[in-house]
Amino acid sequence: MSYFSLKEFVQKLESEGELVRIKELVSPVLEISEITDRVSKSPDGGKALLFENVEGSQIPVLINAFGSYKRMQLALEVNDLDDIAKEIERFVKVAPPTGMIEKIKMLPMLLEASKFPPRMTTSAPCQEVVLTGDAVDLSKLPILQCWPDDAGRFITLPMVINRDADGKIRNVGLYRMQVFDNKSTGMHWHIHKDGAHFFHEFKKRNQKMEVAVAIGADPASCYSASAPLPYGIDEFLLSGFLRKSPVPLVKCKTVDLEVPASAEIILEGIIDPNEAKVEGPFGDHTGYYSQDGEYPVFRVTAITHRKDPIYLTTIVGIPPQEDFYLGKATERIFLPLMRLHLPEIVDMDMPMEGVFHNCVIVSIDKRYPMQARRLMSALWSMGQMSFVKTIMVVDAEINVSDYEKIMDLLLERFFQKNNLFFTEGILDVLNHSSDQALYGSKVGFDATDKVKGELGFEDKSDLTTQDEIEFDPESAKNMFEEVNRFLLIRRKNGTQLLLASLDKTKPGQSADFIKTFFENAKFPGINFLIVFEGHIDLDDTSRALWKFFANLDPQRDFYFFGNRVGIDVTKKYPEEGYTQDWPEEIEMSAEIKQRVDQKWGRLFPSEN
3-state secondary structure of 351: coil
| Range 537-545 average pLDDT | 95
* Predicted pLDDT at 105: 52
| Range 510-534 average pLDDT | 94
Rounded to 5 degrees, what are φ and ψ at 481? -60, -30
* Predicted pLDDT at 101: 58
440: part of which helix (H) or strand (E)?
A: strand 439-446
* Predicted pLDDT at 110: 46
Domains by residue range for the chain, with CATH: 6-95+103-312 (2.30.110.10), 342-446 (3.40.1670.10), 473-576 (3.40.1670.10)
pLDDT digits (tens, 9 = 90+) for 91-119: 655 455 556 555 555 445 444 555 688 99
Q: Are strands 293-305 and 129-132 parallel, antiparallel or unpaired?
A: antiparallel
| Range 576-586 average pLDDT | 96
Residue 478 burial (C-beta neighbours within 10 Å; 0-12, 13-18, 19+): exposed
Rounded to 5 degrees, what are φ and ψ at 568? -105, 105
Rounded to 5 degrees, what are φ and ψ at 300? -80, 125
CB 258 within 8 Å of CB 251: yes
Rounded to 5 degrees, what are φ and ψ at 344? -75, -15
3-state secondary structure of 121: coil
Active site residues: 284
CA–CA distance, 455 with 114 (Å, rounded to integer): 51
pLDDT digits (tens, 9 = 90+) for 150-198: 999 999 999 999 999 999 999 999 999 999 999 999 999 887 888 888 9
CA–CA distance, 159 with 210 (Å, rounded to integer): 14
pLDDT digits (tens, 9 = 90+) for 257-293: 999 999 999 999 999 999 999 999 999 999 999 989 9
Whole-model pTM: value is 0.93
CB-side exposure of 339: number of CA atoms within 13 Å?
22
* Predicted pLDDT at 286: 95
Q: Are strands 565-568 and 528-533 parallel, antiparallel or unpaired?
A: parallel
CA–CA distance, 241 with 261 (Å, rounded to integer): 17
